[in-house]
Amino acid sequence: MGLFKFIWSKLFLKQLGLAIVALILIGWLMMQYLNMTTNHGDFIKVPQLEKQTLDIVEMKLNDAKLRFEVRDSANYNPNFPKHSVIEQQPEAGTQVKKDRKIYLTLNPSGYRKVSVPDVRQKTRRNAEPVLKAMGFNIGKITFRNHISQEVLEIRHDGRIIKPGEMLPQTSKIDLVVGDGKGRLVVPDDPDEEEGDTDEGR
């Protein structure tokens, strides 16, 4: 039998048909397997987590079959509750696969503490920018009779504070400043007083 006749024989066509059916079946089974193992087309919408505490976040993500990881805390934001989520990645509403990890940034419990700079013996004009640059707010300015117009004391909540003391950023720093109207008092010379006493005798 020639090759051409064999190709068009019932036996060859039957074998070819069975091979095609087998390939289609194998392809279909592979697609089903991939769908089951990769959850193809099965997406989960990331819930809104901002301003939520970790207890609520954990409950929401467990229900959604998602995981989370807390990143380092950001700078304190007074518009968010303490220890709440201040940022999430991916964002709320994003479509993700099951078991996806959501990265969270938390709001710390308050402003970070910084060292109070030494602005004593500086003029008020020079001292205020230094304090503001460190994140402090300028509070009450009190003038005291003094020969200079320099900062004499730095105070917080009514008490004198020393340079280097740690205070939260945005704390109010009160300044006691000399008014420049005082006069230098020179103590009497003890020897001169002694001589006057002897002379009086």
Q: What does the pLDDT look like over 77-118, one tens digit per residue?
A: 889 999 999 999 999 999 999 899 999 999 998 888 999 999
CA distance 105 to 96: 19
Q: Domain residue spans in the chain?
A: 44-106, 113-178
The structure tokens listed for 14 are 């039957």
Query: Is CATH 1.10.3720.10 the right assignment for the domain spanning 113-178?
Result: no
Report the predicted TM-score, pTM, of the whole model to 2 decimal places. 0.55
CA distance 20 to 116: 82
Query: Is CATH 1.10.1370.40 the right assignment for the domain spanning 44-106?
Result: no
> Does the fold of domain 113-178 match that of domain 44-106?
yes
Q: Count helices and strands (H / E) in the chain.
A: 5, 11
pLDDT band (50, 70, 90) for residue 2: low
